[in-house]
Amino acid sequence: MARYTEKQKAALDILMKDAVYEHAMKIITDEGLGSLTMERLASDVGVSRGTLYNYFDDRDAVLDYVEERTFGPLLAAIKEVAASDRQPEEKLTKILESIFTGIYEDRALVIALTPNKHSGAKRECQMRRRTSALEAIKVVVNEGIAAEGFKNLSPLLVSELFLGAVTAMIESMVFNGEFQAAEEIVPTMMEIILGGLRKSD
């Protein structure tokens, strides 16, 4: 049996996870979530099921990895915008632009994964990303209230409503089978959101 140095093993782990991601994405986007099984994935990657299980406990773990790798950069972008020195209104606009641009670019994956969410499956990875996004938005809402640009409403409730509107819009596009680009969605959403949030003179 071959023995590897730590550096070689780390490189092999990266190659394996890259292959799993690539093949899992292809199966999900081309054939749907139902076609993704550990047996099928192992076959497509070219390894035994036992080898695949060395990296992922089950199919949900694979899905968590695919989602984290696909949408992790989107969450990072949201956090970056929230921490920037832009004005609160501009931050909310940029956050929406980041979300809908990312969703549009990965729409095949979003279409495949959305029915799974409807089935009630709430994976830890999804909840962790949602909580992080919610916290970033809450920071922006608090800033807007402190600057007296936003009404003094519950930052948590406003953030929940903000994310709820985003989720509803995404699910509507999945249901209709028509994805709109960010520039078509964001101005209208911001007009509605700020109409209720912006403090009147």
pLDDT tens per residue, range 12-59: 889 999 999 999 999 998 998 889 999 999 999 999 999 999 999 999
Pick the CATH number of 69-197 from 1.10.357.10, 1.10.287.1770, 3.20.20.150, 3.40.190.170: 1.10.357.10
Q: Which CATH architecture has domain 1-56?
A: Orthogonal Bundle (1.10)
Domains 1-56 and 69-197 share a fold: no
Average pLDDT of the chain?
Answer: 89
Whether pTM > 0.75 for this model: the answer is yes
Domain limits, the chain = 1-56, 69-197
CB 91 within 8 A of CB 81: yes
CB 149 within 8 A of CB 199: yes
User: Which amino acid type is present at position 27?
Assistant: I
Q: How confident is the model at residue 147 (pLDDT cuts 50, 70, 90)?
A: very high
CA gap 75, 126 in Å, rounded:
11
Residue with tokens 């994805």: 179
